[in-house]
Amino acid sequence: MKIALCGPPHSGKSVLRHRLKTELHALAPTLHPFVLTANPDGEGAWFQPAYENDPAAALTLKKTAKQRWTPQHADLYSSWVRNTTAPLVLIDLGGVIDDSNRQICALATHALLLAPSEDGLLPWRAFSTDCSLTPLAELLSDYHATEDLIYTREPFRASVHRLERGELSTPRPAISALAAEILRLLHLRDLHLP
C-alpha cells in the first residue's frame, strides 16, 4: 500500500504522518512503514523526532533543508513512489493540487485526506479520484478540539484534535483506529504481516 497523505497546507499532515507511523509500529512491531516526504519543505521524516528533542534546532535545520520547488523534484519523488517495494509507504504530499502532485501519485494506491473543514476536503476528493487513488480515510483536523471523534468506520471518517508538533504522547483514538484499519487492509492483501 502506497498511501498519499493529501490536504491543504497547515492541516497537520506531517504530524499525522509521524503519529500514524508510530501507532502502526506499536500495533505491528515488525512493520516499519516507509515515509516519503514528497515536497521540498524541509520537513523530512527526521523532523518530528528532532523537534521532540530540540525544537529550536529542528526548526533551524528545517529552514536549511527547505528548497524551492522544481520539476526535478516531481521526477525524483515520483521515482521514489515507483521504486519502493516496502509493504506500506506513507507519502507526505505538499498541500497544492497540481500536475507535480498528480505525477507523484501516479503509482500510489490509496488516499488519506486531511483538512480543517469539509470544504477543505472537497478538492482533495477530486484530486484522489483524478489520480485513481482508493479512498482510505477522511479526517477533519480540529486544532481546538479536546478529543478525537470517529464518525464512521466504512468509509473511515473521523475528526482528529490538536495535531501539534511536540505533543505526541496524548491518546489519539481516531489515529489508533485508522492504524488498525490499515493493518487489516494489509492483511487482506495477503502481505503476511505479523
Give the pLDDT mean for 26-31: 93
pLDDT band, residue 85 (cuts 50/70/90): very high
C-alpha cell, 111: 488516499
Residue 91 near residue 38 (C-beta atoms within 8 A): yes
Q: What is the mean pLDDT of residues 163-187?
A: 90
* Range in 19-23, 45-49, 158-162 with the lowest mean pLDDT: 45-49
Greatest alpha-carbon pair distance for the chain in Å reads 43
Per-residue pLDDT band at 151 (split at 50, 70, 90): very high
Under the banding of pLDDT at 50, 70 and 90, the label for residue 190 is: low
Distance CA 23, CA 21 (A): 5
pTM above 0.75, yes or no: yes
What are the pLDDT digits (tens) for 87-119?
999 999 989 999 999 999 999 999 999 999 999
Distance CA 111, CA 117 (A): 17
H-state helical runs in the chain: 13-27, 47-53, 55-65, 71-83, 99-105, 118-130, 173-188
Question: Domain 2-188 carries which CATH code?
Answer: 3.40.50.300
CB 114 within 8 A of CB 9: no
DSSP 34-75: EEEEES-SS--TTHHHHHHH-HHHHHHHHHHH-----HHHHH
The reported pLDDT for the residue numbered 123 is 98
Nearest to 23 by CA among 174, 141, 153: 174
Q: In whole angstroms, give the CA distance from residue 4 to residue 136.
A: 10
Mean pLDDT (whole number) for 150-174: 91
pLDDT of 36 > 70? The answer is yes
